[in-house]
Structure 1
Amino acid sequence: MAVKIRLARHGKKNAAFFHIVIADSRSPRDGRFIERIGSYNPNTNPATIELNNDSALQWLLNGAQPTDTCRRILSYKGVLLRKHLQEGVKKGAITQEIADQKWNDWVSEKEGKVSAKKSDLAQNSRNSKKAVIEAESKVKEARAEEIAKKKREEAEKAAKANAEANAEVVAEVAAEPVAEPAAEIESTEGEAPAAETTETKE
């Protein structure tokens, strides 16, 4: 029976996660499986991988063939390296102590890289949030400046209109007294001939 190490899909349409399973190569993707050895969630950053390394190693040594994605997952978790080291021990190329030492060194180095990546992602997230806040504050300041400018322009227009209205009122007020003396002169001229006629009659 051909045995494969592959992924079984679960979850929602746009938020799928996967179980890492040992299954017969002839069974459907989400069908029957022999054993579940872990899970893989690509929705997080970095991706969350839970894997039973010992069980995966045993299945690999027994001849199970991983799919491309599962091969990358096993390589990321170091299972393929352990398989390579164990084959070297079986052939007598290295001792078990050297294999274990190489494995432990690789694990510590990998954990350091993963923790560094997580810290970098956290720092980048903080920086991106800070940049977004700064951009929003700049937009807000520009909007407030535009509103203040419009208010100043409206106030200037209103002040100009008031000044023009006041100037018209002043001009009208200044023009009215000039017309009254002319009327008085006309009335005095009309009264003078009347007085002369009365004197001539006497």
Structure 2
Amino acid sequence: MPTKMRLQRFGKKRKPFYHIVIADGRAPRDGKFIEKIGTYNPVHNPAVIELDFDKAVQWLNNGAQPTDTVRAILSYKGVLYKHHLLRGVAKGALTEAEAEAKFQTWLTEKEAKIDAKRKGLEEKNRNERKEILDAETKVKEAREATLAKKRAAEIEAAKPAKPVEEAKEEVEETAETPAAETAPVAEKPAEEAPAAEESKKETEEK
């Protein structure tokens, strides 16, 4: 059975961490291995991959067969592309310089994509944190406004009410004031009466 390039699991539950190893195809998944060539941590986004690039290419050239997950990792890191270019050099399709130039161009583009993805994720995380803080601030302000209204109502309710006797006196004073002011108006005809009698006497004397 051919040599395998596969993952060996470590880490905690829901926080896996893998070693990328070269092992005999007949060995158990987490059993003995021939050589460790890297690590893979899928918990982070993007995933963190540490890989001995030259060792990986060498084992591919020696016929090692990667599992599906390891194949995806090797493709992501450019190992499969480099292996493909070296096969082209071996067949005489291109020179080593041309193969290296092609690989460096691919590597530059790949790193730019990874960097753009990382920046996009950082921006997204900042926006999400800002939205959470804004929402928490609004909730806090609403809670403070409710408490302020409640305190104002309690203060208003705690004010002492006017005694019944004082309220009664105020009502009586209000009722008496118009009568006192209108009294002279009622007496005015009485004051004018003597003038009317004098006018009558003058008429009789004439």
What TM bracket, shorter-length normalisation? 0.7 to 0.9
| Secondary structure at the counterpart of residue 23 of structure 2 | strand
Name the counterpart of 1:184: none
How much does 1:154 deviate?
2.4
Gaps of 5+ in 1: 176-202
Distance 1:136 1:174, change over 3 A: closer
Q: Where does 1:110-125 land on structure 2 (aligned, <5 Å)? A: 110-125=110-125
Give the SS at the match of 1:166.
coil
Q: TM-score, normalised by structure 2?
A: 0.77
Question: Once the 2 structures are TM-superposed, how far is the Cα of residue 126 of structure 1 from its aligned partner?
Answer: 2.1
| Identical aligned residues as a percent | 54
Q: Distance in 1 between matches of 2:168 and 2:95?
A: 115
**Who is 1:194 aligned against?**
none
SS of the residue corresponding to residue 45 of structure 2 reads coil
Distance 1:169 1:88 in 2: 112
Q: 1:131 and 1:166 mapped to 2: Cα distance? A: 51
State the partner residue of 2:128.
Answer: 128
- Which region of structure 1 is more displaced relative to structure 2, 70-79 or 107-116? 107-116
The 2-side partners of 1:85 and 1:174 are apart by 106
| Bigger mean CA deviation after superposition, 121-130 or 26-35 | 121-130
Which residue of structure 2 lines up, in the alignment, with residue 149 of structure 1?
Answer: 149
Runs of 4+ in 1 over 6 A off after TM superposition: none
Alignment of 1:71-90 (within 5 A): 71-90=71-90
Counterparts of 1:53 and 1:23, CA distance in 2: 17
Q: Which moved more, 1:75-84 or 1:108-117?
A: 108-117
- Give the match for residue 25 of structure 1: 25
Structural mapping, 1:179-190, within 5 Å? none
Deviation per CA, 1:110-130: give whole Å up to 9, x if none. Answer: 111112222222222222222
* RMSD, aligned CA: 1.8
User: In 2, distance between residues paired with 1:136 and 1:45?
Assistant: 26
Q: Per the alignment, do residues 169 and 2 of structure 1 end up closer, same or farther by CA in structure 2, a change over 3 Å counting?
A: farther
Matched, 1:170 2:166: yes
Q: Which amino acid aligns with 1:44?
A: H
Q: Using the TM superposition, give the Cα deviation of residue 152 of structure 1 relative to its aligned residue in structure 2, in angstroms.
A: 2.2
Q: Within the alignment, does 1:34 sit opposite 2:34 as a pair? A: yes
Which residue matches 1:65?
65
Question: Can you give the 5+ residue segments of structure 2 that lack an aligned partner in the other structure?
Answer: 172-206
Give the aligned residue type for 1:48. Answer: V
Partner of 1:47: 47
Q: 1:19: how far off?
A: 0.2
Match for 2:120: what amino acid? D
Q: Deviations over 1:54-98 (max 9, x none)?
A: 111111122111111101000000001011111111122222211
Q: 1:140-191 CA distances to partner (integer Å, 9 max, x unpaired)?
A: 10000111111222233334xx3xx31524246679xxxxxxxxxxxxxxxx
TM-score, normalised via structure 1 length:
0.78
Whole-Å separation in 2 of the counterparts to 1:30 and 1:61? 24
- Aligned letter for 1:28? P
Q: 1:86 to 1:170 in 2, by over 3 A?
A: same
